[in-house]
Structure 1
Amino acid sequence: MLTRVRNIGKIVRAVTTRNPDQRVRRFYELPDPRSQFADRATRYINIGYWASDRTTVDEAGNAIAGLLADSARFEPGQRVLDVGCGYGDQDFLWLQEKEPEVIHALDVTPHQIEAAKARAAAEGVAERLRFTVGTATELRFPDDSFDRVVALDAALHFNTRADFFREALRVLRPGGVLATVDTIPLDESTPRKVFRSPRFSLYRVGVPDENWYDRESYARRLAEAGFVDGVVTSIREHTWEPWYRYWSTLANDDRARAAVAPEIARTVEREWADTELIRRELSLLDYVVAVAEKPH
């Protein structure tokens, strides 16, 4: 009972925090990582890319990270900036598979950065994977510092995404690429207050009003920031749709739920109590890959 009261207090504190960066940080501080990732080898906090109904959560996380790297056209020897990196699993994957010179990664949530730094030190890659606490709209790097700037399912929280675009343009070298995987509404006239399920509450309270726009507006804001050749592509049929099938099946199948860690089962029972409500809210969301270049 005492633990439940404390958790409710943390939620109220997160919701009522006025500073947008602090609000997002406090929301991502709510879950206990030991419970949140009890059944996983990775610590991705994204929807994932699901190649088939046999795809696992770990495979989906790796796949969406790979898709972002390929969309950004990663090449060996590049300098990469990963903004909103979370626990940094994608950065370790990219270091191994894409061979950049260095990846600088930042996030507003200190405990996630500390976990990533500890892992980098343990694996002996701290010189090439550099994790720091920071915000997307005040990038503490000189102009023309990076070949690629990326954000994996994080830019919706930035205050604001347009300010991040301008900062990304500044720190990119001429010809450099910005690429994001992002959650946006299918129709920007949809009010965020319609999201009532526990699973989607973060979209109601953790997204600035200025970031709530659709694909067409996304591309326009990239151009307004100074980028060229901006393309915003929906991938919801390989992300939101199979993601929903996976978790809703787990929520409604007692035998499947009994096979996962108790911590995961409890979370699913709590967050997926109304799968039909989640289905309706999900039908309002898009999931996109956005890619644009800084002019030469």
Structure 2
Amino acid sequence: MFEAVKQFGKLVRMITTGDPVERTRRLYQFMPPSFEFVERTTRYCNFGYWNDGVTSLDEAAEEMATKLADAAGIQSGDTVLDLGFGYGDQDFSWLRERQPKKIHGLNITPHQIEHARRRATTEGVADRVDFQQGSATDIPFPDNTFDRVVALESAFHFYPRSDFFKEAFRVLRPGGVLAVADVLPTADDVVRKELKSRALSWILISYDEANWYTADTYTKQLGDAGFEQTRVDSIRDRVWEQYRQFMVDRLASPSYKAKVSSTSYKGMVRNWSDQDLLKKELAGIDYVMAVAHKPAE
């Protein structure tokens, strides 16, 4: 009973705050890692890119991180800025696989930053990665600092996203690349406030109306910020249905049920109960990989 009351209090505080930044911070503090990553081997916070035959969210999430790094062109010697890095799993993977000179990360959620810093120390890479608390719409770095700026499934939280685009342009070096894995509506007539599925409640809570627009507007805002060679490609056919099925299967797993509290499990089952409604509403949600270049001098 005490756990249920405590969680309800956190939920009320999260929903009622008028500050979009604080609302997002509270969203990511709401679910403790001990529950969120049950039966997981990573702490990736993305829906995953699901190649044929993939059944593990860890594998799919790693592939999404790889797709983003490919889109950005991260390579040996680069200086990279990762905005909204979660627990930093993608950054450690990129350090191993791509050998950038250094990765800087900004995040607004303290416990995620603390975890990433501890891991950097444990893995002996604290000199190659720097995790800080900070905002993607007020980046605390000078102009022309980075070769690549990336945001893995976080930019829809940035208030507003258009300011993030301008800041990313500012801190990129001439010829630098911005790459973003992001969530958008598929069409202008998809109304955010009319979404009813509990599984999509995060969109109502932490996705501000100012950021709710389609790929056409997204492309225009990138251009308005100064970017060229812009692409905003939908990859939704490798994301939503596969992730939905993964969640259905996970909730049906006796081993998963045995490892979480009864209160948490009942809440998850309730959130994922109306699959027909969820399928219908997911048809109106896009998932895109956006790439934009700062002109070379």
Question: By the TM > 0.5 criterion, same fold?
Answer: yes
Inter-partner Cα distance in structure 2 for 1:268 and 1:207: 20
In structure 1, runs of 5+ residues without a counterpart are none
Match of 2:136 in 1: 136
Task: Answer yes or no: is the 8 Å Cα contact 2:55–2:246 preserved in 1.
Answer: no
Please tell me whether residue 65 in structure 1 is matched to residue 65 in structure 2. yes
User: In structure 1, the residue corresponding to 2:151 is in which secondary structure?
Assistant: strand
Shift of 1:172: 0.2
Match of 2:104 in 1: 104
Q: In structure 2, give the amino acid aligned to 1:150.
A: V
How many residue pairs match? The answer is 292
Inter-partner Cα distance in structure 1 for 2:77 and 2:24: 33
4+ long deviations beyond 6 Å: none
Inter-partner Cα distance in structure 2 for 1:125 and 1:270: 41
Q: How does 1:11-160 map to 2 (within 5 A)?
A: 11-160=11-160
Match of 2:202 in 1: 202
Task: Answer yes or no: is the 8 Å Cα contact 2:54–2:60 preserved in 1.
Answer: no
Inter-partner Cα distance in structure 2 for 1:144 and 1:209: 30
CA RMSD of aligned residues (A): 1.4
Inter-partner Cα distance in structure 2 for 1:197 and 1:30: 19
Shift of 1:199: 1.8
Task: Answer yes or no: is the 8 Å Cα contact 1:91–1:103 preserved in 2.
Answer: yes
Match of 1:285 in 2: 285
Task: Answer yes or no: is the 8 Å Cα contact 1:53–1:246 preserved in 2.
Answer: no
Please tell me whether residue 187 in structure 1 is matched to residue 210 in structure 2. no
Shift of 1:188: 2.7
Task: Answer yes or no: is the 8 Å Cα contact 1:49–1:64 preserved in 2.
Answer: yes
Q: In structure 2, give the amino acid aligned to 1:24.
A: T
Q: In structure 2, give the amino acid aligned to 1:241.
A: E
User: In structure 2, the residue corresponding to 1:259 is in which secondary structure?
Assistant: helix
In structure 2, runs of 5+ residues without a counterpart are none
Shift of 1:70: 0.3
User: In structure 2, the residue corresponding to 1:127 is in which secondary structure?
Assistant: coil
Please tell me whether residue 263 in structure 1 is matched to residue 264 in structure 2. no
TM-score in terms of structure 1 length: 0.95
Shift of 1:245: 2.0
Q: In structure 2, give the amino acid aligned to 1:29.
A: Q
Task: Answer yes or no: is the 8 Å Cα contact 1:20–1:206 preserved in 2.
Answer: yes
Inter-partner Cα distance in structure 2 for 1:169 and 1:16: 33
Inter-partner Cα distance in structure 2 for 1:20 and 1:159: 7
Inter-partner Cα distance in structure 2 for 1:68 and 1:225: 21
Q: In structure 2, give the amino acid aligned to 1:276.
A: D
User: In structure 2, the residue corresponding to 1:91 is in which secondary structure?
Assistant: helix
